[in-house]
Amino acid sequence: MRRNAPALVAVAVAALFFALLPFGLSDYHRGLAASVAVYLIAILGLNVLTGYTGQISIGHGAFMAIGGYTTAIMSHYHNTNLILTLPLAFVITFGCGVLVGLPALRLSGVYLALATFALAVSIPQLPLKFSKFTGGSAGISASKSVSNSWLYGVSWSTAAIAFLFTWLVLRGRTGRAFRAIRDSEVAATSSGVTLAIYKTLAFGVSAALAGVAGSLFVLATNGFAQPNEFSVTLSLKILVGAAVAGLGSLWGVLLGAAFIALLPTLSASAPLIGSAHGQDVVFGLFVIVVMILLPTGVAGLIPRLRRLRVKA
Amino acid sequence: MVELARKLPLPQRRFPASPVLLLLAAACIFLTVESLRSTIFAQLTVAGVATGVVYGSLALALVLIYRATEVINFAQGEMAMAMVYVAYQLTLWGLAYWEAFFLTLAIAFVFGVVTQRVFIRPVQGRSVIAVVIVTVGLFILIDGLVEWKWSANQRFMQAPFGNKIYHLGNVPIARQDLGTIVITLISVSALWAFFRFTKLGLGMRAGALRPAAARLVGVRTNALLAVGWGLAAVLGAVAGLMTEPAEYVLQPTLMQPVLLYAFAAAVLGGLESPGGALVGGIALGIFLNLLPSHSWGFVTSALELPVAFAALLVVLLIKPTGLFGHRTVRKV
C-alpha cells in the first residue's frame, strides 16, 4: 500500500482535476476535452495488446468503427438509451476482438501488423456495401444528439472506469501472463501460460476498450457514424498516441491522448506554414521527434526522473 | 537467453514450394485459355497486368527496405507521391516529360538517402513499433508538406504515352498499359542487374543477409542502407509516375490505395522475396480487374479492398510467411 501511495495520490488529484475542469471551460473546449477521454480509452485498449502483450495492431480504428456503429444502429433503430449502448459495444467488440485474435495466433511481428492494417482498411468499407442498413457513405445517426457537458461527464466517467478495469486486468495473474508472452513466448509457454487463451483474451479486452471508445467517438461527432470517420488515419493516430504515451505503461496514456486530440487543433494556427496545412506538418514532425528523443514515450520519463532523484 | 535468439534460415531453396508453383502454372493456363475464348477477358487481363506491375514495383520497394532492415516503410507511397509532384513541377518549369522523368528519378534517389540518414537512422535497431511509427510520422509529414506547397487541389500532367490503342488480333491494348508494363519491367530488371552484377549491389545483399560478417569483410553496411532507401525511393517514384496517367489526375491521395495493394502484394509474395512481390502484384492486379465482372455482381467497388485483403488473410493463414517466404527456424 505504501509503495502505491504516490500513484494513489496522483489518481485522486487527477480525478478531482477532471471533475472540476468543466466548470472552467467553454462549451467548445468541453467537447475537445471529451475527445481526449475518447482517445484515452482507445489508447488504453491498444496498450493492453501492443504494450503489454507485444502483439502489434494497426487496426484499432476498425474496432472503434464496430463500437461506433453499434451505438448508432441501436439508437437509430431501437431507440436504446445511449449509455446502455456502451456496455453493449463493449460486449460486441470483445467478441469481434476474440474472433480476430484467433487467426492472429498464427501471425507475428510485421505480418500481424499488416494483417491488422488490412482490417483497418476493410471494415470501414463494409457500411458502403450494406448501405440500406447502415446509411452508406452518408452515415447513420443516433436518435438524439447530446450536449458537450453530457459528453464530457460520460466520457471521463467511462475513461475512469476503463482505466480502473485495465489496471485490475493487468495487475494480477492475467497481466503477468500478458507480459510473459510479450517478453518471450517460449518462456511463457514453458511456465504454463496457454498462449492461445491469453492472446485471444488480450485481443478481446483490447478491442472491447476500443469499441467503447468508438461509441463515444460517434456520440462526440453529433451522433453520426460515417465510414470515412473511421479511416486508416484513425488507426494510425491511436498507434501514434500509444507510442507517445509509452507502450507497456499506463501513466503516459493521458498525455498520449491529449497529444493526438489537441495537437492538430493547436498546430492548425502554426506560424510560418499557415493555418490550412500546418497541422499535418507539425503533427508529423512532432511524432518523429518524440519517437527519436523519447524511445519509451512520456511514461519512460518517470523512471528516468526517479533515477535522477535517487542520484541526487 | 532471449537476446541470444538467432534466426537460422533453412537451407536455401532456389525455387518456391512446388504446390505454389503448380498453383501459379494453373492460374497462367486458366488466364491464357479464357483470354483466347473471350476478348473482354483478354482486355481485362492485360489492363490487370499493367496495374499489377505498378503494385509490384511499389511492393518491391517495400521488400527492398524490409530485407535490408526488417522495417515496413509506411511512407513509401507518400514518398512516391511527393516525387510525382516534383516531376509535375519540373514540367511546369518547361522540361519535356521524359527529361522531367529521369531528373525526378535522380532527385528521388537523393530524397531516399536523405530520409534514411535524417529520420530512420536514429531509430535503427530499436523496436519494430518505434520504426513503424517514425515512418507513419513521415507519412503525415510528407502529406502536409505536399498540401502546403501544391494544395490538395487536383492537378493535371501531360500523358506520357498518349491514348493510342493497338490491336492484337481483336484484343484492344492501350499504349499506356503497354508503356507502363515496359517501363516498370525495365526498371525492375535494372535493379536486378544492379544487385546481381555490381560490387555495390553484392555488398548490399551481403549486408542484408549477414550484417556482422559483411562488416568484418569491409562492407560499409550503414552507408549501404541509405543507398537501399534511395533505390527504393527511385522504384517508388517509377510506380508513382506510372500511376498518375492511369488515374488521370494528380492529388495528394494518389498513392494511398496503391500502397495498400502494394502491402498486400508484398505479403502475398512473402515479404522477403523480390520476385514474389512482383508476382504478387501482378496476380493482385489481374484478380482485382477481373473480379467485378466475374463475381455475379456481388463485388462492387466498395468491396474491392475488403476482398483483396480477405484473400490476403486466407493466404497468410495457410502460409503465414506468404507464397514465396521461407520459414525461419528460431533457436532460443
In this structure, are residues B248 and B73 in contact, taking their beta carbons and an 8 Å threshold? no
CA angle centred on B70, ends B67 and B71, rounded to 5°: 115
Which of these, B71, B187, B182, B177, lies nearest to B133 by C-alpha position?
B71
Which of these, A255, A291, A268, A217, lies nearest to A62 by C-alpha position?
A217
Count Cβ atoms within 10 A of the Cβ of residue B96 and give its class: 0-12 exposed, 13-18 middle, 19 or more buried.
exposed
**Min Cα–Cα distance to chain A from B330, Å:** 10
What are the residue boundaries of the structural domains of chain B, listed by start? 2-331
Rounded CA separation B187/A57 (Å)? 34
- Give chain B positions within 8 Å (CB) of A113: 72, 128, 132
Q: What percent of chain A has pLDDT over 90?
A: 20
Cβ contact, residue pair B133, A243, below 8 Å: yes
Could you name the CATH architecture of A5-311?
A: Orthogonal Bundle (1.10)
Cβ contact, residue pair A287, B66, below 8 Å: no
**Min Cα–Cα distance to chain B from A11, Å:** 28
Task: Please give the full DSSP string across A85-153, using - where no structure is assigned.
Answer: HHHHHHHHHHHHHHHHHHHHTT--HHHHHHHHHHHHHHGGGHHHHTHHHH-GGG-EE-SS---HHHHHH
Which of these, A163, A291, A126, A155, lies nearest to A218 by C-alpha position?
A155
Cβ contact, residue pair A106, B309, below 8 Å: no
Cβ contact, residue pair A111, B72, below 8 Å: no
- Give chain B positions within 8 Å (CB) of A247: 129
**For chain A, where are the alpha helices, taking DSSP H only?**
5-20, 27-46, 60-78, 82-104, 109-122, 126-129, 131-134, 148-171, 173-183, 185-190, 195-220, 232-245, 253-267, 275-293, 301-311
**Min Cα–Cα distance to chain A from B70, Å:** 8
Type and span of the H or E element at B7: strand B6-9
The mean pLDDT of A249-253, rounded to a whole number, is 81
The mean pLDDT of A36-54, rounded to a whole number, is 91
Choosing among A49, A292, A294, A298, which should be mutated to test the B contact, i.e. which has the most B CBs within 10 A?
A: A292
AA identity, residue B118: V
Rounded CA separation B58/B259 (Å)? 7
State the pLDDT at residue B7. 47
Cβ contact, residue pair A125, B316, below 8 Å: no
Q: Enter the DSSP assignment of A47.
A: I
What are the pLDDT digits (tens) for B63-97? 888 888 778 888 999 999 999 999 999 999 988 88
Q: What is the CATH number of domain B2-331?
A: 1.10.3470
Q: Which residue of B has its CA nearest to A54?
A: B129
**Min Cα–Cα distance to chain A from B40, Å:** 26
For B238, how many CA atoms within 13 A lie in the half-sphere containing its CB? 28
Rounded CA separation B117/B223 (Å)? 9
- Give chain A positions within 8 Å (CB) of B318: none
* B11: three-class secondary structure by DSSP: coil
What are the residue boundaries of the structural domains of chain A, listed by start? 5-311
Rounded CA separation A32/A14 (Å)? 18
Cβ contact, residue pair B316, A111, below 8 Å: yes
Cβ contact, residue pair B317, A280, below 8 Å: no
Residue numbers of chain B with a pLDDT score lower than 70: 1-17, 294-295, 297-302, 325-332
- The pTM score is 0.82
Rounded CA separation A197/B101 (Å)? 54
Query: Nearest by CB to B130, which of A122, A184, A295?
Result: A295
In this structure, are residues A70 and A210 in contact, taking their beta carbons and an 8 Å threshold? no
State the pLDDT at residue A200. 92
CB pairs under 8 A between A and B: 140
Place A202 in a pLDDT band, splitting at 50, 70 and 90.
very high
Choosing among B127, B263, B316, which should be mutated to test the A contact, i.e. which has the most A CBs within 10 A?
A: B316
Rounded CA separation A37/A22 (Å)? 13
What are the pLDDT digits (tens) for A122-146? 888 888 777 777 777 777 887 777 8
State the pLDDT at residue A275. 53
State the pLDDT at residue B4. 40
